[in-house]
Amino acid sequence: MKGQVIEMSRILTIFTTIDLSNNMLEGGIPHVIGELSSLKGLNLSHNKISGMIPQTLGNLTSLEWLDLSWNQLKGEIPMALTNLNFLSVLNLSENQLKGMIPTGEQFNTFQNDSYRGNPMLCGFPLSKSCSNDEEQPPSVFPEAKESLFGWKSVAVGYGCGVVFGIFLGRLFIKTAKPLWLARLLCGYN
């Protein structure tokens, strides 16, 4: 730091951000990073990091941004990352990730750009669906699937309204005394 050589005997747990981007780092992501509970940001982009994304990153519950782009990461995106409730920025683009993108919590808010350059990924929000049709992304409004206001109920309601309107109109014309009807419907005295 600032021209001084400092040897660290252990990793500090009070780090809030780690940015090791553009350093030509190789190897896998250490599982011990998952123990940095106060970590808010992690940027390991533009390196030569390989292997899989460790499940232990799901322990970083305070994490707000995660950038693992432009590496050589393989395998599936761990479902444990859906536990990151404060995660607002995610960039996993330009890797070799495959499989279905996890859904739920914050993962439903990320756009296609978060996964760009991973041709073997599929599922929401990408237009490429997975071969398993039963694993569809959850609807934003799950109750809309079983709504009572389908086209059949709207047609029945419309039909009843037309019949009732015709009946009232004929009654109105036949009596030629619309004042009593106005009193009845609107409460005029």
Please determine, looking at this structure, whether the domain spanning 17-138 carries the CATH number 3.40.50.300.
no
Distance CA 49, CA 24 (A): 8
Q: Are 97 and 109 in contact (CB under 8 A)?
A: no
Cα 137 from chain centre:
9
Distance CA 180, CA 166 (A): 18
* Residue whose structure tokens are 């009946």: 167
So what's the pLDDT on residue 145? 47
Nearest in space to 101 (alpha carbons), one of 59, 138, 56: 138
Per residue of the chain (189 residues), what is the pLDDT tens digit? 446 666 666 666 566 888 899 999 999 999 999 988 888 999 999 999 999 999 999 999 999 999 999 999 999 999 999 989 999 999 999 999 999 999 888 888 999 899 999 999 998 888 888 875 444 455 454 444 455 567 777 788 888 888 888 887 777 667 666 666 666 666 655
Domain-wise residue ranges, the chain = 17-138, 148-186
DSSP secondary-structure letter at 82? G
